[in-house]
Every structure is written in structure tokens, then in C-alpha cells.
Copies of this chain bind each other. A is one copy, B any other.
């Protein structure tokens, strides 16, 4: 099963939430595709990986499909989340509404700075020292770790998470840590994204790509 498919399922889920909020109760793949700029075949193929949720000639029932996707993504169950690094980014993520929603619960932040330990984020999420990681992970049934520490600290922090039993990691540091088999790490590399935009700007300034005007005389 492709990771691209699962990411699209998240998108579809959000679309279905929008539709439900609008009071729509039935939707076809074509309708959804048009409304949200998706591809209808792809919607159907993605869903086909997990079952048959539609009715031929009719379409999909919004609330039912929504529940199905929630179940597929494991959002029918709440996962505890810890955030490693209580800097600006860690704090922002701790209070990010999207991370404190169905399926997830931010349990705590961890930092090595003694000045931060014992304080909380703006929304009141506690900041602990690293020595408390194992006990918090055990007690709060934490399955997910978010890493927002400087590059040089990443591998050590990830190793600590893996030792504590966390097998899913979202890493924001600009260095891809090595993780053992059976552990998944998704890297969100903000600098790479920004540099990709810089390339776009640079190449659209540079006339190299479009050497001539319109070909039509």
C-alpha cells in the first residue's frame, strides 16, 4: 500500500468533513473530484484498496465513508503524542489545533533546558526533562513522537524515543535519522520546501526554460 494513497485518504476525510458540515449526505467520486480539485478515478482506486464503500449508480454516503476512512487511518482510537524539543517550533506544534483533534492527544513536551522543565506551553501542555520520557510514554500510552530539536540532537532523541517504545516519528529537523525496521519516520524538511520555491523563482526568472516566445507564428 502506497504512502501517497494514505495521505490522500486524509485529504478525502477532510473533504467529507466539509461536505458533512454543509449538510451533504451523498456524493459521487466525480462530484468530490470537481469540488475539491481531485481526480475521480484516483478516489475510487484509493478506496478500492480497503473495500467497497460505494453503491453503483448512486455514489457514496458521506457519513459512512467518513467513518470508514477514520477507521482505516486509525483515528477511531486516540494515540498519545510527545513532542521532543520545547523551542519555538515545539511549542507551536504542541498547541496546534490540528494536532489536538480526533485521534490524537498531545501528552507532553520534553526539553533538556532546565529553565523550561516544569513549565508549560501556552495551552498548558507540561514540559518535562528527558529523564521522564520512559515513564510518561509508559503511563500515557504514547505511540507517536514529534521531533523539533536542532539537527545535531536528532539522532540521539530519536534513539531515546525508539528505546521508549515509540514507533512512529514526525521529524522536523533538517537531518534524516536512522530508525530500525518496524519504526516509521516521516521527515518534514522546511528548508527543502523553501529552497524548492527558490528554484521555481530562479528558473522562472531565467529564460533558459522558455527560449522562444509562442511557437505559433
Chain A residues within CB distance 8 Å of chain B: 1, 3, 6-7, 9-11, 13-14, 37, 72-75, 77, 79, 81, 87-89, 91-93, 95-96, 98-99, 101, 103-104, 122, 143-144, 167-170, 174, 176, 178, 182, 184, 186, 188-205
Please name 28 pairs of A and B residues whose Cβ atoms are closer than 8 Å in the assembled complex, sorted by A.
Answer: A6-B196, A6-B199, A7-B192, A9-B199, A10-B189, A37-B176, A72-B199, A73-B195, A73-B199, A74-B202, A74-B205, A75-B198, A79-B198, A87-B92, A88-B95, A88-B96, A92-B92, A96-B190, A99-B190, A144-B194, A144-B197, A168-B197, A168-B198, A182-B204, A184-B197, A186-B196, A186-B197, A188-B188
A10 contacts B98, C-beta separation under 8 Å: no
A99 contacts B144, C-beta separation under 8 Å: no
A86 to chain B, nearest CB (A): 11
B196 contacts A101, C-beta separation under 8 Å: no
Cα(A202)–Cα(B3), bound, Å: 14
Residues of B contacting A204 in the complex (Cβ-Cβ under 8 angstroms): 167, 182
Cα(A14)–Cα(B151), bound, Å: 11
Residues of B contacting A88 in the complex (Cβ-Cβ under 8 angstroms): 91-92, 95-96, 122
Q: A98-B190, A174-B14, A192-B7 are in contact. Are A104 and B144 (CB under 8 A)?
A: no
Residues of B contacting A193 in the complex (Cβ-Cβ under 8 angstroms): 7, 170, 186, 188
